[in-house]
Structures are given as C-alpha cells and as structure tokens.
Structure 1
Amino acid sequence: MARTADIAARRPHYQRLLAAGTGRFFRPPRTTCPWCASDRLRHRLRSRDHVQNKPGTFVLDECRDCGHIFQNPQLTSEGLDFYYGDFYDGLGGESTAKMFAGRGSVKRFRHSARALRAHASPRRWLDVGTSHGHFCATAKEELQDTEFHGLDIGESVELAVKEGRIAAAYRGQFTLLAEELAGRYDTVSMFHYLEHTLTPRGELVAARTALRPGGHLLIEVPNPESPLGRFFRGRWMPWFQPQHLHFVPIGNLCRELERLGFTVVSARRRGNQHIPVDLACATWFWAARAMPKEDAPWLARRPGRAAVAARWAVALAALPPLLAAYGIDLLLAPLVRRTSLSNAYRVIARRGPDNTLHNTPHDTPDGRGN
C-alpha cells in the first residue's frame, strides 16, 4: 500500500513532464560520429525502455569507420533526468540496491578487485558511478589497506557513506569535480559507467586528472562487438536503452588511453567481467511485451484489477521459460567467458607523467570535436 501511495503522489509530476510529449528530451540527430567525426553512419537498432517501460523510442547508430555505437538522437540533460528518475533512487532505489548486493554482483566485484590487485596495491581508490557503494564494500575485503571513496550524481552515494560502504562521498559530475580531486588517487574505477556519460573522452581526462602519476584506471563496459548484441537486438540487456549513450570498442578505448598518456597493462574481452544474463533478460523482455503495464507514475492512471490479474497470469506462465533461460545463462557462462561472446570487457591502464599527454581534439557535450 505504501508503494501504491508513493506512485500516486508522484503521478502529477510525471504527467506534467509528459504533457508536451517526449520530443524535448532529445537533441537533434547527429550526422557524424561523435568519436571520429566520420559521416559514414548506419542505423544499428531501435529499442524501447524494456526496464522501466517509460515512453519513447531510442535509436543506436554505428560508425562504419571506427565502429563506435551511440544513441542518436541523444538524450538532453532534461531527458536524462526523466529516464533516470526513480531507477537508482526513489521508487527503484531499493530494488537496484538489492541487485548490486546480489551474489552474482559480489562475485564479479571480487574478481574486479583482484584484477587490479595483480598490478598495484592502492592506498586510496575512487569508484566513479559508485551508486550504493557495493563494489567498494566487496573490494575492501580483498584490499584491506585501501581506503575507498565514491562519486555519483544521485543521493545513493551519500547513503553509501552512512551505511559504511565508502569512507567519503562526492556528489556531482566527475568532469566538474576532477580538478578538486587532482592527484589524490592511486586508483580510479569506472564499472559500467562510461557508457552512461555524455562525453566519454572527457570522463577519461577527468580520471587522468584525479590519478597521481603511476596510478591505475580500471574500466569495465559493455562489449559492443559481442555477436550477442546482433542476435538479441533491442532485447540485449547491455544496450540498456535509454540510459546507455555510448559504446566504445575496446581498440578505440585503448588508443584513446594511450593518447592521454596511459600505458594499457591489461585489455580483456574474455574473462570474468562477463555478466550471465543475456538469455534471461531477453526472455523477460519478450514476455513483458504481452503483459499489461505495471503501475508506475508515468502512466496516466493506475491499471485496473483485470489488467493486474492479466499481468500476473502472463508472469506466471513466463516463469518456467525464464528460469530455464537463466539456468542456460549460468551453464554456458564458463564457455562464453572464454569467447568473443562475452558481453563486457575490462581495461586496466597506468597513468604516465604529466608530459605524456598528446593534445588532439576531444568530444564536447554534443559529441563534436573542438
């Protein structure tokens, strides 16, 4: 009942936002690649919001020259606020926190901490896009002498301090806070963060600024070159529209890091950074298309009893294939992790001295070079 009341209280706000439609949530479409400026673009796929079921259609385009995949048209700042609303905080905060605290996430976090530990023993570590700080809490078990700090734009990072998962919190945009943090950290991590950002290159520059010379940057992101992305199309969870704005191929990322004066010490498309949810999520997204929508404040009205009953009936019918799909994901995970099918990659790079930066144009908020 409390959730029903909370949804009802938020409904007028969402209805005001949607009164004029969703058009203003998008920038004008680009005609050039935001990574290499090529005009040789092609449509990769169309998708809807499969997770929150907010209104809108989202397009991913691919550059034929460098392989960069990006949302086009891209969300504006107002659009990002709308589509992020009630996911990491608010209505969705509790369920998102539970997801990050789950056994699979904890196991993956532990592997990530060990991957960095093979190259360094950091004294101070900044986790960018930390959300509720669950990675830091897990990594602390592997690196007991390391002090973990977190940065995020939502209130979750402040809750992470109160709950003891991180020692310090920064709330805001990394690119705007980087100068304040200059040279403070031995390690900066970005776990499934870079794909959410408006200017990936700017985020890499911010990481370089926050690191001391010799410090390490650890990045894990979706692997846009995985064949699973083509097979599942819009129902491939790593596309995660509308939140994921940019998908950088591993070669592009490594070359950019080297341009910024980093030395790439590890670049792995195959490994334990793979998240075994591809078939299960695609199955759920497929079943959800047949379901009446769940009550949410962005719906004009609360679904009636018949719609609620129909939703439960479809969900129960979908449960056996969903469990089977999840079982297949887990069964095949050891094999998938050893192949190009892996849905994520990991890069670890060591920052060089200040005089190693090679000055070439960076992307700007609209994705165009200076």
Structure 2
Amino acid sequence: MSDHSGKREKTDKSSKSIKSGKSGKAVRIAALRPAYQDDLATGTDRFFAAPRPDCPWCGSARIAARLHTTDLLQHKPGRFTLDRCADCGHTFQNPQLTGEGLEFYYRDFYDGLGEQRMSGTFGGRGAMYRGRAEAMLPHDPAPKTWLDVGTGHGHFCATARTVLPGTSFDGLDFTDGVELAAREGRVDHAYRGAFPDLAPELTARYDVVSMFHYLEHSTEPDRELRAAHEAVRPGGHLLIEVPDPESRYARLLGRWWLPWLQPQHLHFMPAANLRRRLTELGFTVVAEQHAEAHDPVDLLAAVWLALDHTAPREDAPWLPEPPGGLRRAARTALVLAGVPALITATLLDRFAIRPLSHRLGLSNAYRLVARRE
C-alpha cells in the first residue's frame, strides 16, 4: 500500500471517529432528555430557598441587589440574583439554591456530559497549579502532608508533586472525580463527601490544607473554615484562593464577568472579611496575593459568554428538543464571525492587562496563606 493510501485510510478512520463521537454525544443527550424534562415540568421554584433578609456574613439588614443574571455557561433555565451587603461588602446569591437546586445545576457540568470538557480544561493549567504550590514555599518548603479540598480530578495535586516531591497529597471532593483522581494516581488518598462532615476524622492531620476556588461554592463558608481549622495541625497552614468581588472587572463587565459563575458561586468574600474571620478562628494571615492569583481570561471569557448567549443554543438535554439544522448553521456562522474579537481579547488579557492587573485593580482573584496558631 502506498503512503498516500495509508494517509487516506488514517483520515477516513479519524473522520469516522469524530462522527462517532458527535453521534455518541447526541445519543447521550437524547437519553438524558426525559429525566431533565421531568425535573422541569413544574418549573424551577423548588430549586430556590426563601430569600433571606440579612447578610449571611455579618447579619446586617442593609442588603441590595448587585446583579441579575442567568446561567451563561450551561444555559439551564432560571434567573439568579446576587445581593451585596452595604456594611461588610459580602456578595451572596439570594435566594440561594436548595440542595435539590444544587444537584440540578451541577449535574453534567463537572461530570457526565461535561466531564471530558472540564477534565481537559483543568488538566491544561499546569503553570497556574505550580504557582499555587510555590506560594507555600516561603512558609513551609517541605510539608509532609497536604489535603486539597475541592480537588476535582486532582490535577493540582499531580502538578504540585513536581514542586514538592516529598509531600503526600490527599484530595477531598463530593463528586466521583476525586475517586478517579485516586485511581489515576494524582492523589494518594481520596475522601468523598462534605468537608465539615469529614473533618472530625482528619483532626490535626495535615501540614497544609488548600481550598482553591472552593469556598465560593459552599453553602456555609464559615463551616468550611472551621473544618479547615480542625484538619490543619497547630503550626500548619491554610491556603485559600477565591474570586475577588472588589475587582474592577466585576463592575466593568457586569454579568459577563466569568467569576460570577451563576448559579454555582454562592458567596463572594472581600479579602478584608476573610482575613478577619480567619483571625477570629485562630489563624494568622502571613501572606496576601492578588497579582499572583489573577487568571488572565476576563476579556476572552466576556466576549465568549456574550457570543454564546447571543447565538442559538447547542443541543442539551434540558432543552425540549434538539435545534434544527438552520439554527446550528446560524450558531456556527456567529461564532466564526466572533473569532477576531476572541483573539483580540486573548491578546489584551495576556499581554496588555496581565502585567498591570493588580496596579489597575483588575485582579480577578486573591490568595491568602494563614498559619494555625
């Protein structure tokens, strides 16, 4: 067989594989559609708790709406409101999702339909993960034990081993991703469940406990911080990274600011609030980083969210029926037309804004390192 014939055969196999992948996804979506339609048959009211009249962080009644939005990533039905406290600056989802609501909106995002996409996204962020691990070096250059809370598929732990080869990394999460992380060898031990429920069996076991973009997902951040205080040994450290609600991007980009991530993100804590709460719990904050925690994707994400929101929907099981050929073609055309804007936004994020992000008040996240006394 000639080289050209071999190339044609490989191309044909690749084409069939792509078509099979697309067909397989369509079959999975069709299989999931009846269950989603049953969930939505009576509307979304049961997914929300009663609105609260006060701030969950400080108890003040001086709260007002900061943002109204929809699910801009999965496009599941529902409208979401973020309120802000005028006294302490805490921003929170109000009304907050119930347990049933959290299950509905998380379903097929990190696992199921979304597992492959999210695994690829998180797996390709090695430089960011190394930076997070290196943040501990000035405070404990050789921790023996490290627990990563909200570890997902354990990609941070796998990368952190290259920075701290003598450290044993465990992972904790409430999804089955943490069990996959253990099977793949990314974590040494997997804990599946809620951190506050598991904390008593982890008392004073860890030199370091990390929470990277985890606390904003929790229904009760204070319980999570207390659990961390329990799991960290005296003299050990807690490493936290969360979105910064005081970023200027949060105001400039409005609902298109990716870190709002509704409806998954329930609480947004200004750095001063979190510092005070950690001090009250018996920690000493030894480092606060903003530029180092910044993820340079704000403009790119805003352009994509706006494009994706404007374009006809892709097929999803929470839609009553698949989109027709004309709508799919219109979506493709609009996305292609937006490519120059996406490229421009990427260049601005990485090369124009990133070096000045903290100076301009545009850092979209902050990181605290706190020592348990």
Aligned residue for 1:272, secondary structure, equals helix
Partner of 2:189: 168
Partner of 1:236: 257
Distance, in Å, in 2 between the alignment partners of 1:233 and 1:112 is: 27
Q: CA deviation at 1:89?
A: 0.5
CA contact (8 A) 1:128 1:174 kept: yes
Partner of 1:347: 368
Deviations 1:103-148 (A, max 9, x none): xx21111111111111012100000000010100111100000000
Q: 1:8 aligns with which of 12, 19, 30?
A: 30
Partner of 1:37: 59
Q: 1:145 aligns with which of 161, 166, 174?
A: 166
Distance, in Å, in 2 between the alignment partners of 1:91 and 1:117 is: 38
1:46-195 equivalent positions in 2, closer than 5 A: 46-102=68-124, 105-120=125-140, 121-195=142-216
Partner of 1:20: 42
Distance, in Å, in 1 between the alignment partners of 2:200 and 2:310 is: 49
Deviations 1:7-29 (A, max 9, x none): 11111111111111011100011
Partner of 2:294: 274
> What amino acid sits opposite 2:129 in the alignment?
F
Change in 2 beyond 3 A, CA 1:220/1:330? same
Residue range with higher mean Cα deviation, 186-195 or 328-337: 328-337
% identical equivalent positions:
55
CA contact (8 A) 1:108 1:272 kept: no
Residue range with higher mean Cα deviation, 282-291 or 20-29: 282-291
RMSD of the alignment, in Å? 0.8
Partner of 1:210: 231
Aligned residue for 1:14, secondary structure, equals helix
Q: Higher relative contact order by CA 8 Å / sep ≥ 6: 1 or 2?
A: 1
TM-score by length of 1: 0.93
Aligned residue for 2:185, secondary structure, equals coil
Deviations 1:184-223 (A, max 9, x none): 1110000000000000010000001111111100000000
Residue range with higher mean Cα deviation, 343-352 or 331-340: 331-340
1:222-301 equivalent positions in 2, closer than 5 A: 222-268=243-289, 270-301=290-321
> What amino acid sits opposite 1:46 in the alignment?
H
Aligned residue for 1:303, secondary structure, equals coil
Change in 2 beyond 3 A, CA 1:118/1:339? farther
Distance, in Å, in 1 between the alignment partners of 2:185 and 2:360 is: 38
Q: CA deviation at 1:164?
A: 1.1
> What amino acid sits opposite 1:273 in the alignment?
A
Q: CA deviation at 1:337?
A: 3.9
Deviations 1:30-86 (A, max 9, x none): 110000000001110111111111111110000000000000000001000000000
Aligned residue for 1:27, secondary structure, equals coil
Residue correspondences, number: 349
TM-score by length of 2: 0.92
Deviations 1:243-266 (A, max 9, x none): 000001100101000000001101
Q: CA deviation at 1:320?
A: 1.3
Deviations 1:220-251 (A, max 9, x none): 00000011101111110011100000001100
Distance, in Å, in 2 between the alignment partners of 1:258 and 1:85 is: 36
Residue range with higher mean Cα deviation, 215-224 or 328-337: 328-337
Partner of 1:359: none
Q: CA deviation at 1:288?
A: 1.6
Distance, in Å, in 1 between the alignment partners of 2:319 and 2:187 is: 36
Q: CA deviation at 1:338?
A: 4.1
Runs of 4+ residues deviating >4 angstroms: none
Partner of 1:198: 219
Distance, in Å, in 1 between the alignment partners of 2:302 and 2:310 is: 13
> What amino acid sits opposite 2:332 in the alignment?
W
Partner of 1:362: none
Structure 2: segments with no counterpart, 5+ residues: 1-22
CA contact (8 A) 1:155 1:171 kept: yes
Distance, in Å, in 2 between the alignment partners of 1:182 and 1:299 is: 45
Q: CA deviation at 1:348?
A: 0.4
CA contact (8 A) 1:195 1:244 kept: yes
Q: CA deviation at 1:290?
A: 2.1
